[in-house]
Amino acid sequence: MALASPPPQTLIVFGASGDLARRKLFPALYDLGYEGLLPERYAIVGSGGSRLDEAEFRERARGGVEEFSRHRLDDGRWQAFARALSYVCAPLDHQDAFGALRERLVSLDVDLGADGRRLFYCATPPSAFPTIVRRIGEAGLGDQARIVVEKPIGHDLASARELDRIACEVFDEPHVFRIDHYLGKEAVQNILVFRFANAMVERAWSADVVDHVQITVAESAGIEQRGRYYEEAGALRDMVQNHLLQVLAFVAMEPPESLAPEDVRDRKAELLEAMRPFSADDVIRGQYTAGVVEGREVPGYRDEERVAPESTVETFVSLRAWIDNARWKDVPFLLRTGKRLPHRTTEVAIVLREPERRLFDGAGLARLPAHHLRLRVQPDEGIALVFRAKEPGPGMALDAVPMDFSYGSSFKTRSAEAYERLLHDAMAGDQTLFLREDAVERSWDIVAPILDAAGPVHPYAAGTWGPSAADQLIAPRRWRPG
């Protein structure tokens, strides 16, 4: 089902001079225009506290597009895109900060024939969200408008609820788009297709066949000048409460009645409700020390800028999750995420149960890796099934061989970036890949027991796969009852 162009509207980017806008939003919008997926009539208004003229703003946006767009910058296409760009200085600490912005939007609404359709995008620190929402309400700009809020959605359950309360003073719940960019990745969306469009796969997707599931989000990078933020968040808040639980929900949810947004989101919410909250026995935390990553010496976490010398914030987490429903009874989901690991990768490994009768033990079966299915989300998007086959020659000797699908070789078109799909869907009003209020709150419920009582933080050298204590969580069959 091909994507259609959204209706005419204005997109307002708060924090338009910041890093997120330059690296992700403007390149994604340019690429959507390149593909013919922006509205036929649209305007993009940057806003922030910086005093930029429109020439400076357009030049900043062009720099981001040149560096990060997946399409080569074409002068003709850029000129058409640039004509839609404008900038309004609107410092949030001024009571009538949005007066000039209101005038610009009202004028654009007439020019575009947009009937008040606006999409506000908060590409700002989370602390600015409440003020932005209030200013939008005070300026009378919320009618028919939508708002996109970046993660983290709160610092805990109470603050997430407070953010939702503030947002719903100005916007109806269906008009609040809580973004998790992982859900915009092609390979994450393909999990639904792989499961529900292939009868053989869906019939095997249960405790009868699956021994355990491993979900890994590994980063070779460190905290990248985000010491102040990371000291408050840590890996549990930064990655587990959102990215990992959302990927888990796609992997484990029941089949939706249809692909309608609320049907899909209902199934994700049901899955999260069936998850047990984490316990201290099911989590190992770690913090990287100095080491070598991808051939380069890197400092330890405590030596990073704006990090406390005795910090106990985790940069690595390994968790064991349980889902209390019929499909996944007694099947552990093993989650792992960390900074300064050997290389960047996001993948889901479905490890299959061994048959009771071991007919081929004498043929080398015991030395082979577990029979598993690997869903690669990034960087090499694809799916690999590792199975056993007879080696050529006399006798009976087995080996493990992969059956591999790669997006890069199977489809010649380069995958769209996650923000392209999510920006398009937000402009079109499609909530399928966005987070609903109940799912956000349930995610906080799940991690709440370990946020402040998750046990010691184990050191691990940068360039390794985390502390050795984490290996115990995936010791073979340790989790099976009896």
Residues designated catalytic = 243
Whether the CB-CB separation of 136 and 168 falls below 8 Å is answered with no
3-state secondary structure the chain: CCCCCCCCEEEEEECCCCHHHHHHHHHHHHHHHHCCCCCCCEEEEEEECCCCCHHHHHHHHHHHHHHHCCCCCCHHHHHHHHCCEEEEECCCCCCCCCHHHHHHHHHHHHHHCCCCCEEEEECCCHHHHHHHHHHHHHCCCCCCCEEEEECCCCCCHHHHHHHHHHHHHHCCHHHEEEECHHHHCHHHHHHHHHHHCCHHHHHHCCCCCEEEEEEEEECCCCCCCCHHHHHHHHHHHHHHHHHHHHHHHHHHCCCCCCCCHHHHHHHHHHHHHHECCCCHHHEEEEEEECEEECCEEECCHHHCCCCCCCCCCCCEEEEEECECCCCCCCCCEEEEEECCCCCCEEEEEEEECCCCCCCCHHHCHHHCCCCEEEEEEECCCEEEEEEEEECCCCCCCEEEEEEEEEHHHHCCCCCCCHHHHHHHHHHHCCCCCCECHHHHHHHHHHHHHHHCCCCCEEEEECCCCCCHHHHHHHCCCCCCCC
Cα–Cα distances in angstroms (integers) from residue 446 to residues 150, 282, 324, 422, 437, in the given order: 20, 12, 13, 26, 15
- Other C-beta atoms closer than 10 Å to the C-beta of 274 total 18
User: Helices 54-68 and 75-82, interaxial angle, to 10°?
Assistant: 140
Beta strands 118-122; 146-150: pairing state? parallel
Q: Which residues of 330-356 are buried (b: 16+ CB within 10 A; e: fewer)?
A: ebbbbbbbbbbbeeebbbbbbbbeeee
Whether the CB-CB separation of 241 and 443 falls below 8 Å is answered with yes
**Block residue for tokens 């929900």:** 249
Question: Tell me, what amino acid is at 78?
Answer: W
Question: Tell me, what amino acid is at 114?
Answer: A
